[in-house]
Homo-oligomer: A and B are copies of this chain.
């Protein structure tokens, strides 16, 4: 059993930017030389999250529009105190959660063919972001 530690960094655009990180995740699995195991991804920060989605143009609009609908920008206790206008960003991130793991076998991710790994920027301004990575396996 081995532990491989790594991270990926990138620039996000503002709010509701979905970033497909599947290629980067596959690359980290390859770098680890681990064949059978699990890759653990963790979005650092309280206004972003991770999930999987079929990364096609329609859903890249549908999913953010859903978030806009159930958690609209507006009046939050957080904003009254901190005046950064991103109360909704925090609520969205806490709902979606920052952690996501993907199993892999023979060095290949076991996601479905139409199932990509996405980082969701929920903050109301562009950010430099980091996803911490641990790979456990043999």
Contact = CB atoms under 8 A, between A and B. Distances in A.
A21 interface: no
Interface of A: 1-3, 5, 36-38, 40, 42, 44-46, 51-54, 56-59, 61-63, 65-66, 70-71, 76-82, 87, 90-91, 93-103, 105, 110-112, 114-115, 118, 132-134, 136-138
A36 B1 CA distance: 13
Contacts of A36: 3, 5, 134
A90 B62 contact: yes
Contact of A105 (B5, B79, B97, B114): B5
B61 A98 contact: no
6 contacts: A3-B137, A58-B80, A59-B87, A94-B118, A99-B101, A103-B134
Contacts of A56: 78, 81-82
Contact of A91 (B63, B78, B132): B63
Contact of A101 (B80, B90, B101, B118): B101
Contacts of A112: 44-46
